[in-house]
Each structure stands twice: as structure tokens, then as C-alpha cells.
Amino acid sequence: MSFNVEEIRAQFPALKQEVNGRPLVYLDSAATTQKPQAVIDAIVHYYQHDNANVHRAAHALSGRATSAFEDSRRVTAEFLGCANPAQIIWVRGVTEAINLVAASWGRSNLAAGDKVLVSAMEHHSDIVPWQLICAERGAEVIPVPVTDDGEIDLQALEALLDEHVKMVAVNHVSNALGTINPVQEIAAKAHAVGALCMVDGAQAIAHWPLDVQQLGCDFYAFSGHKLFGPTGIGVLWGREALLEAMPPFLGGGEMIDRVSFDGTTFNRLPFKFEAGTPNIAGVIGLGAAVRWVQGLDRGSAEEHEQLLLRRCDELAESVRGLRRLGPERNRVGVFSFLLEGTHPEDLGTLLDQQGIAIRTGHHCAQPLMSRFEVPGTARASFSLYNTMDDVEALFAGLAKIQEFFA
């Protein structure tokens, strides 16, 4: 199977539009990916034909909705290399997944004097939930330094690890730099001192196939909307024994076994963590996204994305005053930069006028911005539907802006 980017693009209706009179160049997939027709169709089909609540009624529509809902769980488990679909917990996204683990696992496992290590390149979603639970439990959140190249400083991590560390939380790929972190090695280091390792997979999930067993982490989370699926739905995967031992996160319907004023008992996994009516259309849409991705030649897609980044790096060399952040290699999806004499916000606006969508600002990674002593960056982010023409358009756009300011 060879990778045909035009065939892929043709499946994304939102990419076929003009913005400000120019063909859209969408370079903001790290914020959210566009959706293929297959995902849009699955959501429309559910609402047009099967709309009903899941797990509760004896009627046909509920049966169909439940079977599509649970089928999504099954394909998602398979997608992550997990044999047991009960370890796939539906959440709103990575943010909720980390809050769930911090609140549920953290409240019953963290005590005064304990430490949670998070890298200094984490998204706020992988910092603040740990700060909240650590403040409650008298534990401490310790940042793991980032090198000048934009990688987690593994020697510093080693030096910080001791028996007081109970959790090491890192992202698989940095949303602000694109750095691919060695999570397998980090999980092994965490385990060597008896700590757990939670991986935020938000920026990794769309770029290559992964296997949670192989990674060796204890929790892995991703958001559907970064994998060509809908917003408001995501996945928490956890080791079964850990999930079994953890108390519920939210209380309500679905997560109970029996409720009485003498004491309530809780449902089995995964329902123990899924209180209330779930995002049924979101789950079905995510299942369609997973199937769509499974139908791709992922090796070729990955190669294609790497070629786009390499071309960015080449073109960047001849742009006066361009400073790129993040490692040379070991990077995926993200080209994060500053342009001398231009504020990133202005860059974003001026590129948008040319139909080019990028993101600017701190990318919800303020500690990382402080580390590099920058207020923010301009970030072009790539997905498998981007073309070399998109890269050329970005650099032509930057050249125009430089001319304008010259």
C-alpha cells in the first residue's frame, strides 16, 4: 500500500474550503484534527437511526446503540494493544483522564511527603490535576528539567527519583515542541523506585501505532479529537489491578451496582468510572475514527509526516531571524518557532489572512515557555493530510510577512 495524500485529503470535507479568499492550509492539527467523512457519517447515522440511551432499555434502538458503543470500546482496546476492553474507560479527553487518575488513585495513594514528578514540558492538563491533589494530600509536585534541545533531562530525572516518588507523569509527545519522549525508559525508571508512570498520549496517538503493554506504563490517555474523532470523548487506559483498586471518580447512574442508604456498591470495570449518560455519539464517532486509522498504511503516513517536517527544517534555514524550538530529530507533528521582529500573535493573524491556520501563544505549557524565556511561539502542526504544498505555503506566507515588516 503506498501513501496517497490526495486520496486521504479527499476524505476530509473541511479541508476543501477557502479562507479569506485563499485555499485553506490547515496547520493546527495538534490543537484538533479535521474529521474524515467516515467519522461524520457514523455520528449522523447514530442520530438518524439508533439514537437511544445505552445499557438500559430492552428496545431495539437501545440494543443497537449499546452494541455500537461497546464495539467502539473493543476496537479501541485492540488499537492500544490491550486484550481486555474493560480497561478502556470513556472520558471527555486527556484532561479528564488525568483528573480521574489524580483524584481517584491520588486520593487513596498519596500522603504527606510523597512526590509526583512531571516534566517541565507538560501541558497544563498534566500539571494542574497533580497540583490540586498534592495540595490536598500534603504531597509535592516536582518538575523534571528540560534540556536546551527540548528533551526531558533523563539524568536529572534519575537524580530526582527516590522512594518518595509515587507517580511520574509525562507526555509521549510535547504539544509545544513535538519532542518524542522515551516513555518506555521513563516508565522503567519510575518502576525501579516503586513509582507508577502515567503517559499523556494526546500528541502521539495520531502519528504512529502504539502498544500500551510494550510501553510498560501504568496509565495512558488520549483525546478522540486529536485522532480524527469528535471532541468531548477520550480514553483512559489503565492496568487492570490498579483500576480495580481505585475508588470511583464521579458518582451517579451507571457506575453503581446497588444503591441503598445503608451503603452503595459499585459496578464492575469499566462502568465504575463512567457515571451518567455517556457521550454516545462521541464514542461511536471515536470508534469510526479508530477504524479509519486502522485502514491506513501507518508506516507510510508516518514517513510522509516526517518528510513534511524535514522540508520545514530545510526551508527554515534560509529564513532570516527564525528560531526553531525543540529537538532536531525525535520530533513529530510540530514546527514551533519565533520570527525576529514579529510577535507570534501577529504572525498568526497575518498568516490567517493568507488562509493559513497555525496556533500561537503558550500552548498551555507556560512552564516550558518560561524555561525557554519566551512568551509563546508560533506553532505549525502537521497531520497525514498535509502536503508539501502546505509547507511551501507556510514559508511563502512568512516571506510575505517579512517583506511587509521590512
Residues recognised as catalytic: 364
DSSP string, 142-189: EEEPB-TTSSB-HHHHHHH-STTEEEEEEESB-TTT-BBP-HHHHHHH
| Binder of ligand PLP out of 95, 99, 360, 381 (CB under 6 A) | 95
Q: How far is the CB of 336 from ligand PLP (least distance, A)?
A: 12
Q: In this complex, which beta carbon is closest to ligand PLP, that of residue 123 or of residue 331?
A: 123
Q: How far is the CB of 326 from ligand PLP (least distance, A)?
A: 13
In the chain, the N- to C-terminal Cα span, in Å, equals: 47
| Binder of ligand PLP out of 82, 144, 183, 202 (CB under 6 A) | 202
d(CA 401, CA 406): 9
Q: Which three cell numbers stand for residue 44?
A: 449522523
Question: E strand or H helix at 289, and its extent?
Answer: helix 280-294
| Binder of ligand PLP out of 77, 94, 217, 394 (CB under 6 A) | 94
Q: How far is CA 175 from the centre of its chain?
A: 8
| Binder of ligand PLP out of 72, 203, 279, 360 (CB under 6 A) | 203
Site for ligand PLP in 223-282 (CB under 6 A): 223
Q: How far is the CB of 250 from ligand PLP (least distance, A)?
A: 16
d(CA 265, CA 247): 11
Question: E strand or H helix at 287, and its extent?
Answer: helix 280-294
Q: How far is the CB of 292 from ligand PLP (least distance, A)?
A: 19
| Binder of ligand PLP out of 93, 229, 230, 270 (CB under 6 A) | 93
Which one of 40-48, 68-76, 184-192, 198-206 is the stretch in contact with ligand PLP (CB under 6 A)? 198-206
| Binder of ligand PLP out of 76, 104, 175, 381 (CB under 6 A) | 175
Question: E strand or H helix at 350, and its extent?
Answer: helix 344-352
Q: How far is the CB of 171 from ligand PLP (least distance, A)?
A: 5
Q: Report if residue 359 touches ligand PLP, rule: CB under 6 A.
A: no
Integer-rounded Cα Rg, in Å, for the chain is 22
Q: Report if residue 383 touches ligand PLP, rule: CB under 6 A.
A: no
Burial (CB < 10 A; 0-12, 13-18, 19+), residue 142, is middle
Q: Which three cell numbers stand for residue 85?
A: 476492553
Q: Report if residue 377 touches ligand PLP, rule: CB under 6 A.
A: no
Number of residues counted as binding ligand PLP (CB under 6 A): 12
Cite the beta strand spans of 215-363 per DSSP E: 219-223, 234-238, 256-258, 265-266, 322-325, 334-339, 356-357, 359-361
Q: How far is the CB of 129 from ligand PLP (least distance, A)?
A: 11
Q: In this complex, which beta carbon is closest to ligand PLP, that of residue 106 or of residue 397?
A: 106
Determine what percent of the chain falls in helix, strand and coil, rounding each to the nearest 5. 45, 20, 40
Q: Report if residue 197 touches ligand PLP, rule: CB under 6 A.
A: no
Positions touching ligand PLP (CB under 6 A) are 93-95, 123, 125-126, 171, 175, 200, 202-203, 223
